[in-house]
């Protein structure tokens, strides 16, 4: 019973089959191959637009840092939640890739930015004041680092506030599929239709081996050549890009990425219900995706530990459990027998 992370889960068999399927013959390098071309057609379907450019990376940290570096100058700032992945888990990669850009951290429940705090930060931007580090980007995360989901309407509202003062809007979508399933929004409604300029769409946590997509929408496409140059300079220009593209095509086929996320979300709901059955275990945040944040009762903590379950202690004495596409129904049945 491993609830450590969805990155600990195996790649879906369809992904491995897709990799084997493109592993023959000669193809162009650095994205000049027919598999990556096919991916563009698939993204057009998924995103309901042709007004985009994209780049493939093997890690979410690289995708976020590269994307942000195109829009935040060395003497600028990025507004984000103080628990955002770019702030807590990426070892100052955004600061490194931007050449010194600052993360301006904002509060909010459930790792969602508080609107009043955002409005105050936006109102306080003074680009001509030499002592200030003015914000250039608003970065949102969906799912958030607390497992909560922004509705598409919230993303659209925050995007509008940011754009009113000239900011670029970035969406960290490492678990975007889980957020889409939870909210019922389409990829288009959660991204370009909501005012997002640059999306880092993650597929690794959902079931790929290692595939993240940086997507530039609309006017942000003007940064595509710079994005490629930064990718090359930082060592994130995959020479055999067809293997990344093949993973993405396999995940998007028949909306597999969404069905796998739905399975992970369902398992999280089932397990959270079992954990809370004793009346003493309490959820710290609502379960709106595939992450569970709970304050476990001593009985449940002991039962999970004795059974060899893998999960992590978290902030304030709570614990985090993460499900994935590969969490079997048998795990739920076993937990039902174990827990009070």
The DSSP annotation for 217-231 comes to: EGGGGGGHHHHHHHH
Separation of alpha carbons 23 and 12, rounded Å: 17
Q: What is the pLDDT of residue 236?
A: 97
Residue 37 tokens read as 């071309």
| 310, containing H or E segment | none
Q: What is the pLDDT of residue 259?
A: 98
In 3-state terms, what secondary structure has residue 184? coil
Ranges of residues in the chain with a pLDDT under 50 are none
- 257 closest CA partner among 206, 314, 323, 216: 206
Pairing of strands 77-81, 102-106: parallel
List phi, psi (to 5°) of 190.
Answer: -90, -5
**Torsion region of 168: left, alpha or beta (phi above 0 gives left; psi -120 to 50 gives alpha):** beta
C-beta of residue 334 within 8 angstroms of C-beta of residue 273: no
Separation of alpha carbons 146 and 76, rounded Å: 27
Residue 81 tokens read as 């939640």
Provide the whole-model pTM. 0.97
Q: What is the pLDDT of residue 316?
A: 87
C-beta of residue 267 within 8 angstroms of C-beta of residue 323: yes
Separation of alpha carbons 81 and 297, rounded Å: 29
Q: What is the pLDDT of residue 133?
A: 97
């Amino acid at each position: 019973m491993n609830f450590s992370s969805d990155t600990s889960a195996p790649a879906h068999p369809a992904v491995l089959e897709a990799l084997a399927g493109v592993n023959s013959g000669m193809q162009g390098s650095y994205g000049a191959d027919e598999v990556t071309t096919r991916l563009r057609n698939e993204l057009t379907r998924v995103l309901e637009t042709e007004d985009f450019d994209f780049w493939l990376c093997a890690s979410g940290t690289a995708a976020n840092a590269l994307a942000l570096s195109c829009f935040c100058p060395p003497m600028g700032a990025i507004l984000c939640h103080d628990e955002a992945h770019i702030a807590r888990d990426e070892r100052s990669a955004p600061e490194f890739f931007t050449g010194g850009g600052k993360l301006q951290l904002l509060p909010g429940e459930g790792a969602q930015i508080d609107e009043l705090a955002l409005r105050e930060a936006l109102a306080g931007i003074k680009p001509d004041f030499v002592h200030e580090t003015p914000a250039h980007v608003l970065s949102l995360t969906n799912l958030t680092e607390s497992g909560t989901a922004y509705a598409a309407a919230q993303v659209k509202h925050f995007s509008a506030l940011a754009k009113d003062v000239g900011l670029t809007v970035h969406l960290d979508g490492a678990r975007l599929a889980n957020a889409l399933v939870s909210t019922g929004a389409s990829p288009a409604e959660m991204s370009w239709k909501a005012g997002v300029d640059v999306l880092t769409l993650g597929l690794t946590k959902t079931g790929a081996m290692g595939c993240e997509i940086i997507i530039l929408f609309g006017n942000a496409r003007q940064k595509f050549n710079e994005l490629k140059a930064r990718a090359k300079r930082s060592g994130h220009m995959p020479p055999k890009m067809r293997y990344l593209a093949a993973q993405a095509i396999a995940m998007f086929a028949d909306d597999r990425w969404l069905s796998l996320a739905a399975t992970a979300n369902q398992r999280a709901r089932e397990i959270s219900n079992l954990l809370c059955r004793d009346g003493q275990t309490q959820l710290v945040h609502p379960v709106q995706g595939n992450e569970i944040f709970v304050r476990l009762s001593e009985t449940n903590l002991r039962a999970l530990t004795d059974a060899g379950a893998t999960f992590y202690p978290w902030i304030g004495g709570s614990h985090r459990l993460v499900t994935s596409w590969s969490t079997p129904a048998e795990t739920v049945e076993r937990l039902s027998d174990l827990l009070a």
